Amino acid sequence: DTGVSQNPRHKITKRGQNVTFRCDPISEHNRLYWYRQTLGQGPEFLTYFQNEAQLEKSRLLSDRFSAERPKGSFSTLEIQRTEQGDSAMYLCASSLVLGNTIYFGEGSWLTVV
């Protein structure tokens, strides 16, 4: 049973460096979502794709953040010039277009030092 896969699971980076996370959704899921979660809080929506089209972006997604899903399958989330405030767990999720249930991956932890 292949769920949503994310890598790397953990990343420690120095402030100012760029980082990229990858997400492989559940096979045949058209929609792919990125969320961010900090300690003690619920996940916060960042952006989502339907196939290769990025349809929605949250105000949380600053200009330093960019997400792509070039072939409508896997997605990448890049953070440029990382700041300490970017330290969080970045969650990827996927769903079918006609299904509301959104399934999450295990997340990618980012620590900016």
Interface with other proteins (CB under 8 A):
4, 6, 31, 33, 35, 40-45, 48, 55-56, 58, 91, 93, 95-107
Specify the residue, 79 or 107, whose C-beta has the smaller distance to other proteins: 107
- Minimum CB distance to other proteins smaller for 91 or for 110: 91
Q: Which amino acid is at 105?
A: G
Phi, psi of 85 (to 5 degrees): -70, -10
Q: Determine contact, residues 21/108, Cβ cutoff 8 Å.
A: yes
Closer CB to other proteins, residue 72 or residue 102? 102
Closest CB 81 distance from other proteins, rounded Å: 26
Which CB, 17 or 62, lies closer to other proteins? 62
Give the closest residue to 47 by CA, choosing from 19, 16, 68, 18.
Answer: 68
Q: How far is the CB of 102 from other proteins (least distance, A)?
A: 6
C-alpha 26/C-alpha 28 separation (Å) is: 6
Instruction: Determine the residue type at 88.
Output: A
